[in-house]
């Protein structure tokens, strides 16, 4: 997930639908989620992704996994 998809003020995440590139879905967040995401950003810094890859921080963690674990 890219940081630009986060709306901290309104506690919403925009999720683009990969099957329909021009469609965007909104996901309302719990009251705890924005604080958790801010903490994540504080830990990993200025990159584009909320969950950057360990070895390749310019890619999201799930795109970096080569062993089928989706980065987990």
13-44 pLDDT, tens digit per residue, is 888 776 666 776 888 999 999 999 899 888 88
CA 70 – CA 72 distance, rounded (Å): 6
For position 48, what pLDDT does the model report? 87
More confident residue, 1 or 34: 34
User: In the numeric block, which tokens belong to residue 42?
Assistant: 């504080």
Residue indicated by tokens 């989706």:
70
User: In the numeric block, which tokens belong to residue 58?
Assistant: 């310019």
CA 22 – CA 4 distance, rounded (Å): 16
Per-residue pLDDT tens over the stretch 36-57: 989 988 888 888 888 888 777 7
Query: Is the overall model pTM greater than 0.75, yes or no?
Result: no
């Amino acid at each position: 997930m890219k940081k630009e998809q986060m709306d901290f003020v309104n506690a919403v995440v925009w999720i683009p639908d990969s099957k329909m590139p021009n469609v965007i879905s909104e996901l309302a967040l719990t009251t705890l989620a924005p604080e958790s995401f801010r903490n994540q950003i504080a830990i990993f810094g200025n990159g584009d992704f909320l969950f950057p890859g360990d070895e390749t921080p310019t890619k999201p963690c799930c795109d970096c996994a080569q062993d089928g674990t989706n980065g987990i």
